[in-house]
């Protein structure tokens, strides 16, 4: 029996490279096909942002920056709302990446809503993200009637009450090709 010898440094580099590629591919999709291209304008929340964070950081390609809502700032669940800039969507995915430097505030139970006027929302589905242990979540295909606004209401987080912390958040179209 021959046992291959693997240089630990090469093995560690390989895993780091594979992890980096897995995290960068969604950003590539976001840059080229994302339904929200300017997080500063088209992402909003009902909860105030924690000091030093803005929605702009949700599409910056960095996993060390994040957007955090303020704990106990409002009584209802905190949400992130995406304005699709006048476009309608009937099939989409969403991608969440946790901040590498924080283990709290990861969304684990999300209700997804849709609207055409940005005021009256209809529930599309509930999603369990499994982000209690994972650093990212890529949703299954979500199908709905045509909507121009999507709301992602965070019903629970892994640690904490209502506030959530997200490093990256992408809404991606379904593309058969």
Q: How far apart are CA 46 and CA 44, in angstroms?
A: 7
Q: How far apart are CA 42 and CA 170, in angstroms?
A: 12
111-126 pLDDT, tens per residue?
999 999 999 999 999 9
Residue carrying the six token digits 């590498």: 100
Count the residues in the chain: 177
130-162 pLDDT, tens per residue?
777 778 888 999 999 999 999 999 999 988 888
User: Cα separations (Å) of 154 from 14, 20, 34, 87?
Assistant: 35, 27, 21, 24
Q: Which are the contacts of 33, defined by CB distance < 8 A and separation ≥ 6?
A: 172, 173, 175
Please, what are the averages of pLDDT over each run of 10 residues along the chain (177 residues)?
45 52 73 92 95 93 89 89 96 90 87 97 94 83 97 92 91 82
Question: pTM here?
Answer: 0.85
């Amino acid at each position: 029996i021959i046992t291959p010898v693997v240089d630990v440094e090469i093995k560690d580099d390989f895993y780091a490279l594979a992890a980096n590629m897995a995290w960068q591919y969604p950003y590539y999709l976001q840059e080229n096909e994302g339904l929200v291209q300017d997080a500063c304008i088209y992402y909003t929340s009902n909860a105030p942002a924690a000091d030093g964070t803005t929605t702009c950081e949700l599409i910056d390609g960095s996993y060390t920056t994040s957007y955090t809502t303020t704990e106990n700032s409002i009584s209802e669940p905190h949400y992130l709302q995406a304005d699709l800039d006048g476009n309608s969507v009937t099939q989409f995915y969403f991608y969440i990446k946790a901040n590498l430097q924080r283990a709290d505030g990861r969304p684990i139970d999300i209700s997804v809503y849709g609207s055409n006027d940005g005021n009256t929302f209809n529930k599309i589905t509930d999603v369990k993200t499994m982000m209690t242990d994972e650093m990212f979540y890529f949703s299954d295909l979500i199908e709905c009637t045509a909507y121009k606004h999507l709301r992602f209401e965070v019903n629970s987080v892994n640690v904490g009450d209502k506030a959530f912390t997200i490093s990256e958040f992408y809404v991606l179209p379904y593309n058969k090709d």
